[in-house]
Structure formats: C-alpha cells, structure tokens
Amino acid sequence: MPATTSGPPTDGTGAPLGPVEALERVVYLLDRSLAPAPKIRAFRRAAAVAREVGPAELSRLVDTGRVRDLPGIGASTGAVITAAVRGEPSPYLARLEADTAIVPTEQAAPYRAALVGDCHLHSDWSDGGAPIATMARTARALGHAYLVLTDHSPRLTVAHGLDRERLLAQLEEIAAHTEELDRFRILTGMEVDILADGSLDLDDDLLDRLDIVVASVHSKLRMPRQEMTRRLVRAVASPHVDILGHCTGRKLADDGEQPASDAAPRRPPSDFDAEVVFTACAQLGTAVEVNCRPERQDPPEELLRLAVELGCLVAIDTDAHAPGQLEWQPYGCDKVARVGVPAEIIVNTWSAERLVAWATGAGAG
C-alpha cells in the first residue's frame, strides 16, 4: 500500500484511509522499522481514541482546530488525523512508507520469492501485539500460503507463556480462523523454552498435538561451553522439536533499537560446540533457524555456513511480534544469499502439506 505525496494514502483498493486506518498504518510501519515501543504505543492509543470518538466528532474537532484537545493526541498523531479527515496527503505517513520500506537485494530476491510461509511468530496470546487473525491476514497479504503460530511456552512468564488450558483454547481459536481464511492455513505450533538440562517447557502430549515446534534458549545463556552443548543436543534430539530457534541467543541491540554496524553486541552469543550441535540437527532432521529480527540476526554467517556444510535444513523466520514485522524475511534472505544456501533445503519454501509431513515424520524433506 504505497503512500504518495500527490494524494491521500489508500487501502490498496483506491479508497482513502480514514483517521483510524491511517493511524493503524503508522503503527504497522513503526513496527516494521523496529521503532521504540513508546512511540508505537502513542499511535496505537491514538487509533483507539479516534475509533471511540467516531468520524463525525473527529471532523468537527478538525474543523475547529481542536483535535489535540482529545486525550493522548499530540502533534504527530493530530497531524495524521487531520490529513485523513481532510482527504489530504500525510507527510508523516508518506515519509514512513518510504523510510521503512524493506527491499531485498538482487541476490536475496529469489529466496524471498520462494518463501511461502513463516514458521516463527507470536500473537497477543503471549507477548505479540496483534490478534491471530490480524497476523494471518497480514501474512496472506504478503503472499504467504501459511504461517506457523508459535506463541511462548508457560515457563517464559515474562512473555505470558501459554499454559495447558490456554494452549488448548488457542488451538480451538486457530481451527475457527482456519475455516474463515480462504486457501490460507494457520499451522499450530509453539516456541518452547529449552530448560537448563535440555528438556522442554511443555508436556509431551501437548507437543504431540502441534504441527511445528520451535525450541529456543531464553535463560542461562552464559552456561559453560560443554553444558550448553549438551543442553542444545538434548533439545534437538526430542522427536517433537522441528526447528532450533535463534541458536546463539545473541542480541546486537536492545529491543526496539536498530543495531549499529560498528557496535559491540549488547548480548554476546552463547558458547557451544557448533559442529556437535549442527551435526545432531543434521542427523535428527532438525532445521536451524535464520532469525530475521534486526537486533538478533542469528546465527552469524560463519555458523550458518557450518550448519549448511554439515547437512542441516534451514528455516527463514521473522520471529515477528507485530504485523509489520512479518515483512522482515528479506533480512534473512540477504544472509542466506551471502552464504549460498540452496533454496531446496529451506523448509518454508515447502508447501504446508510437505512441511507438516516432514515435521511428523510422514514424509522426507
């Protein structure tokens, strides 16, 4: 939905955006750019206020120059509302459209074109910022045929992880949405926490019900090398684990910050024997994730190259926590292009049917 300076932004069908839709589009673009959370919250609150006030009252307030009298409406949010009410171009929105656009490099474009799904993302059932249906519709609009919903497991309480009761309720909601979304599939999944001993933070009977399981380390990242190696090998050896998520756990920047190219990592990578871990992944059929989050970019290229050399499958995942972040796959595509990863070993270039068959052991990769 490109914005222009010659007319108001539209919804992709040619209809101009209303004030609520314009503010929600700003939220989407700010999420896409990994903008600071307070700024995103301000526009999200403004959209809620605009929705509650309604178009007639917004028009009156714009006409009388009093739109900023509304609670939570400041200079930037007020300008977006005013432009939308008047049917005029919004310089703020147009600038965001241009500045936050994510365009694959020439080398990465074929990889992005080959991707038909995203195997690691979160909704507001855990620490994501949008409902399941919103994430699904966004993924479909980006050209995907499916997504794998992987909200957090229960031990990760900071992310409001799903316990047994909530996961079962989520599975029911996914089934209902799948019936509503024509030719688009929401595959069931979870990002399970790899505990200190390598066990998983979810009961086997629940793991058995999921289409795709991503296993990741979120705690005790500074374990000694030998212990971390054992921890990861035990996790990927689980018959339930399909993808090893953000394997080094590194952070190049804090959440909500774009990493600087010359800055030291805010959180260094975990120390483990990558050859041992990736050999286990290759032998056991567990894919290694290329995590596309700008502040993660995990694994580093040298480790991805090693994983591919050892015969690992790969998944290019956004780890999105908001709709705009579903556009981050080109970051991972740039990396696999530099490494020269064969497209056929990237599991989310496969159809949903082939992906699920691989994960359940019913079909070969």
Q: Read off the CATH number of the domain in which 34 is found.
A: 1.10.150
Domain boundary among 79, 99, 119: 99
pLDDT of residue 179: 78
- Taking residues 306-334, what's their average pLDDT? 98
What CATH number has the domain bearing residue 150? 3.20.20.140
Q: Is the pLDDT of residue 363 over 50?
A: no
pLDDT of residue 11: 53
Distance CA 76, CA 87 (A): 17
Residues 119 and 244 in one domain: yes
pLDDT of residue 8: 57
pLDDT of residue 267: 86
User: Peptide bond before 239: cis, by omega within 30 degrees of 0?
Assistant: no
What residues make up the domain containing 193?
A: 109-360
Backbone angles phi, psi at 20, to 5 degrees: -65, -45
Distance CA 222, CA 89 (A): 50
Q: Is the pLDDT of residue 364 over 50?
A: no
Number of structural domains (the chain) is: 2
**Quick one: 36 exposed, middle or buried, by C-beta within 10 A (0-12, 13-18, 19+)?**
middle
Distance CA 1, CA 16 (A): 11
pLDDT of residue 5: 38
DSSP for 143-178 reads: T-SEEEE-PBPTT-GGGT---HHHHHHHHHHHHHHH
Distance CA 97, CA 93 (A): 6
Residues 167 and 44 in one domain: no
Domain boundary among 99, 132, 148: 99
Residues 127 and 85 in one domain: no
pLDDT of residue 180: 83
Distance CA 80, CA 97 (A): 13
Confidence bin at 361 (pLDDT 50/70/90):
confident
DSSP for 46-82 reads: HHHHHHHH-HHHHHHHHHTT-GGGSTT--HHHHHHHH
Residues 93 and 232 in one domain: no
**pTM of the shown model:** 0.92
Residues 298 and 222 in one domain: yes
Confidence bin at 261 (pLDDT 50/70/90):
low
Q: Is the pLDDT of residue 239 over 90?
A: yes
Residues 64 and 114 in one domain: no
More confident residue, 157 or 127: 127
Q: Beginning with the edge strand found earlier in the chain, give each strand of the sheet holding 146-149 in spatial order.
A: 117-121, 146-149, 185-193, 212-216, 243-244, 287-291, 314-317
9 within a domain of the structure (yes/no): no
Residues 180 and 277 in one domain: yes
160 within a domain of the structure (yes/no): yes
Confidence bin at 263 (pLDDT 50/70/90):
low
Residues 62 and 117 in one domain: no
pLDDT in tens, 271-290: 999 999 999 999 999 999 99
Q: Is the pLDDT of residue 256 over 50?
A: yes
Tell me the angle at which helices 55-63 and 37-53 cross, rounded to the nearest 10 degrees: 100
Domain boundary among 60, 77, 99: 99
Residues 219 and 75 in one domain: no
Confidence bin at 111 (pLDDT 50/70/90):
very high
342 within a domain of the structure (yes/no): yes
pLDDT of residue 3: 37
Residues 88 and 117 in one domain: no
* Averaged confidence pLDDT in the chain: 92
Confidence bin at 95 (pLDDT 50/70/90):
very high
13 within a domain of the structure (yes/no): no
Nearest CA among 32, 118, 104 for reference residue 333: 104
Instruction: Work out the percent of the chain whose per-residue pLDDT is above 70.
Output: 91
Residues 95 and 153 in one domain: no
Residues 279 and 309 in one domain: yes
More confident residue, 215 or 261: 215
pLDDT in tens, 16-51: 899 999 999 999 999 999 999 999 999 999 999 999
User: Could you tell me if 285 and 365 are in contact, meaning their C-beta atoms sit under 8 angstroms apart?
Assistant: yes
